[in-house]
Chains A and B, each alone.
Chain A
Amino acid sequence: MNAVYMLWLRQVKKYARSKSRIVGALGQPLLFMVALGFGFGPIYAQAGGGNYMHFLAPGIIAMSILFTSIFSGIEVIWDRQFGFLKETLVAPVSRHEIMLGRTLGGATAGLFQGVIVFFIALGFGLTPNWALVPAALLVAALIAVFFTALGTAIASKMDDMQGFQLIMNFVVMPIFFLSGALFPLDGLPSGIREATAINPLSYGVDGLRAVLTGASHFGLGMDLAVLGVLTAASLGIGSYLFSKIQA
């Protein structure tokens, strides 16, 4: 377990030291809350949706977890380019332990980023049910582990950063925009409805919304079940792909 801890520690240290990255990653959630929260708030209220900021905040928290986590996973490619990956690949430790440690470390960073955004959202008027905040942490942790493992799995099959834009535009952005982070999932036209239903982040956003604001589309039990299964699967697949890396 020592190796898992060391890998975890390394990821956390790297995250904690990249102050500019932490601050930089707060720009987007802030912008979304200001522009969308205040911009669409009046229309949303007129349409009978209630407080849009209240609705939006869990989605934005999920977004920041998604971004930080998936990029932590994709960091494997940087490690490959800067050589450090080889140091871990020849170590007398099973690659599954290495992958697990890395993933938990990246997920910790993602979770932490989500917590920062949570506090920012409080400033924007989110009024959570404090008794359920620990449950929100659980949902957030599942989102973080799932997407870090997904990032690691993707990065294990990539050689360099050239595919990065592709991943950004065809994986990360669609996952965010089609997750119900910005709009309610009820009464969607078919097509979008199916896309949101198969999107893992939909269950994360819905779970966070369920515990933080009490409103849910799928139901918290369903959210947790889907996230739990997906997280386990992504750890398994990511670990397998990581173990097959050659240098």
Chain B
Amino acid sequence: MKHRKIHSKKRVTHPHAIEVADLSKTFGSGEKTVKAVDGVSFTVQKGEVFAFLGPNGAGKSTTIKMLTTLLQPTAGRVRVMGLDAFSQQDDVRRRFGIVFQDPTVDDELTAYENMEFHGALYGVPSDRLPGRIREMLEFVALWDRRDDLLKTFSGGMRRRLEIARGLLHHPEILFLDEPTLGLDPQTRNHIWQYIRKMNREEGTTIFLTTHYMEEAEKMADRIAVIDYGKIVAEGTLSELKQRTKKKTLEDAFIALTGHAIRAENAETGRHMRMWHGRR
């Protein structure tokens, strides 16, 4: 396989990074039917930082899975960089990078090997890969632990490695699904600064989900709020605050989605995930 350039210079003239139209996903059948995503439409412009917010179980991760070719929609259409996320999967996969919400690192490999594996799979040229790995491992303060197996890492260290790995190659679109969950404020700041820099200097489109409202407030050019599988609000930070007549995004978010704590907890989340595999 030929190595692809890390910095992809050729950008297609298509104006939207992501276009989602009437996207739905239903799990199960009969009485047990769960409509996880229900007729969602939105667009993300190229070079934009787009925050996709919602309470637990609102349909965020299911939507991200459909945007990143991991899950086939029940209905609707997803275009990533003008390409159909389902019929042109392989092409779409070349255009984005993702940091998943769940752990996806390999416990039986070392930190360095996890990075190396990713770099090779994503076509980072082999002459630049070692330097790039070092840079990213130093960035998340894991360089000294590079030769340790992942199974010896703490939760926070694994999380940092996930992020370092996701940023190793320079994709045109970066999906970040609650990337900073469980990290201390220092690390979170450090990471968001870097992502901001990528966005400004390389024009990387950022699609993020987070439960830390101040992160979305600081980072996002535009925000969409999803609840019960439907988009309930979309706009810039000031638009959302204006519309809800609230002073902070957190208050606006609660005004939009209500105070009720969702039935979905870690346990059912896990259940849902196992369920997703069952086409």
Contact = CB atoms under 8 A, between A and B. Distances in A.
Contacts of A245: 277
B120 A92 contact: no
Given A90-B70, A247-B71, A80 B104 contact: no
Contacts of B103: 82-83
Interface string A1-24: 111011000100110011000000
Given A6-B117, A83-B100, A91-B93, A1 B1 contact: yes
B109 A10 contact: yes
A89 B4 CA distance: 18
A92 B122 contact: yes
A194 interface: no
A95 to B, nearest CB: 9
A213 to B, nearest CB: 38
Interface residues of A, number: 30
A87 B106 CA distance: 9
A14 B108 contact: yes
B204 interface: no
Nearest to A15: B108
A246 B43 CA distance: 24
A94 interface: yes
B105 A159 contact: no
Most chain A CB within 10 A, of B68, B69, B277, is at B277
B98 interface: yes
Contacts of B120: 2-3, 5-6
A245 B106 CA distance: 19
Nearest to A14: B108
Nearest to B91: A92
B1 A246 contact: no
B1 A90 contact: no
Given A6-B121, A92-B122, A247-B276, A86 B108 contact: no
Given A6-B117, A13-B109, A13-B113, A91 B277 contact: no
Given A92-B123, A94-B90, A82 B1 contact: no
Interface in B90-129: 90, 93-94, 96, 98, 100, 102-109, 113, 116-118, 120-123
Given A3-B121, A6-B120, A10-B106, A90 B69 contact: yes
A86 B104 contact: yes
A93 B121 contact: yes
Most chain A CB within 10 A, of B65, B121, B274, is at B121
A85 B103 CA distance: 10
- Which 6 residue pairs spanning A and B have beta carbons closest together? A92-B94, A83-B104, A247-B70, A91-B121, A159-B277, A92-B93
11 contacts: A14-B108, A83-B102, A86-B70, A86-B104, A87-B104, A87-B105, A89-B70, A92-B4, A159-B277, A247-B71, A247-B276
